[in-house]
Amino acid sequence: LAIESQLRHAVDRQEFVLHYQPQVEMSTGNIIGAEALIRWNHPTLGLLGPLHFIDVAEERGYIVQIGNWVIREACRQIAEWHAKGLPLMTVGVNLSALQFRHQELVGLLQDALAEYQLPGSCLDVEVTESVIMDDLESTVQTIRAIQAMGIRMSIDDFGTGYSSLAYLKRFKADKLKIDRSFVRDIPGDQDDSAITRAIINMSKNLNMQVVAEGVETVEQWQFLAQEGCHQVQGYLLSKPVSAEAVEPLLRQKC
Ligand code: G
Ligand code: G
Ligand code: MN
Ligand code: NA
């Protein structure tokens, strides 16, 4: 309960920070972007990960304000990196259900890009299948409006939601992110290997990019490379780290 009232003021008190996990293109080894992951620099408890506060933030409705901060902060950071001579990065931001259904989302994305003079291609919006399935009709419209700005749409944790594949026909997702629960036991586990291979093939046949999450070992990398996965993300390359710590990694791209 203390945490709830502290959470309410955390945006105003500037207690949130974004960490970044690089995403690598398998064919070139280049870092082509990063996923932004929120942390709460709590006054007494230290740095807290999303598992400690995202659900509460969603329940209490604070997630909209927090999510708005995430979008603006990601844009500010992309512009700062660019001003320092880095190429324009694409940053993935995670959107919660409430935030995705909020009527001001599209305007907010537009304003954040305009404020930092960034093209839409700098942002990649990540939503889970459950968020999409929640209200498919209105979701499809929101997704189309987001993509019309040049922003990419990724399906996060793909394969774990209670959903049918039919939604993939209703709009064109730009990217599927294979959930790390499937990646964890490849190549040893035959079922996980088969599922991962199937997701990669389906993505390619539907002209979507495919990203494997949670890649921790060289053996996983090799399996994914052999199957033609486009991008990977995971501890093998880097944990999510602060903006300062990720900067040298991003420079390797140049
Ligand atoms: O960052 P990991 O380190 O702990 O993230 C855990 C979960 O929190 C992931 O499922 C991720 O999608 C979610 N998450 C991370 N950052 C954000 C954010 O800015 N907004 C929302 N809604 N979820 C986030
Ligand atoms: O649900 P979402 O995909 O957005 O979750 C990202 C979460 O996965 C974050 O909590 C992040 O810290 C975690 N993560 C990223 N890479 C790895 C990895 O290689 N192994 C494990 N176990 N977790 C990872
Ligand atoms: Mn994500
Ligand atoms: Na994910």
Task: Quote the ipTM score.
Answer: 0.97
Q: Which CATH superfamily is domain 2-251 in?
A: EAL domain (3.20.20.450)
Q: Is the pLDDT of residue 73 over 90?
A: yes
pLDDT tens digits along 197-229: 999 999 999 999 999 999 999 999 999 999 999
Candidates 35, 233, 239: which one to mutate for ligand 2, based on the most atoms within 8 Å of Cβ?
A: 239
The verdict on the CB of residue 159 being under 6 Å from ligand 1 is no
pLDDT tens digits along 159-187: 998 788 889 998 899 999 999 999 999 99
The verdict on the CB of residue 156 being under 6 Å from ligand 2 is yes
8 Å CB contact between 155 and 129? yes
Find the angle CA(100)-CA(144)-CA(204) to the nearest 5 degrees: 100
Candidates 181, 213, 219, 238: which one to mutate for ligand 2, based on the most atoms within 8 Å of Cβ?
A: 213
Which residues place a Cβ less than 5 A from the ion ligand 4?
A: 156-157
pLDDT interval class at 47 (50, 70, 90): very high
Q: In the chain, what are the domain boundaries?
A: 2-251
Q: Is the pLDDT of residue 31 over 80?
A: yes
Q: Of all protein residues, whose CA lies closest to atom 1 belonging to ligand 2?
A: 157
pLDDT interval class at 1 (50, 70, 90): low
Q: Is the pLDDT of residue 134 over 90?
A: no
pLDDT tens digits along 229-248: 999 999 999 999 999 999 99
Q: Is the pLDDT of residue 254 over 70?
A: no
Q: Tell me, what's the pLDDT at 253?
A: 62
The verdict on the CB of residue 94 being under 6 Å from ligand 1 is yes
The average confidence (pLDDT) of the chain is: 95
The verdict on the CB of residue 239 being under 6 Å from ligand 1 is no
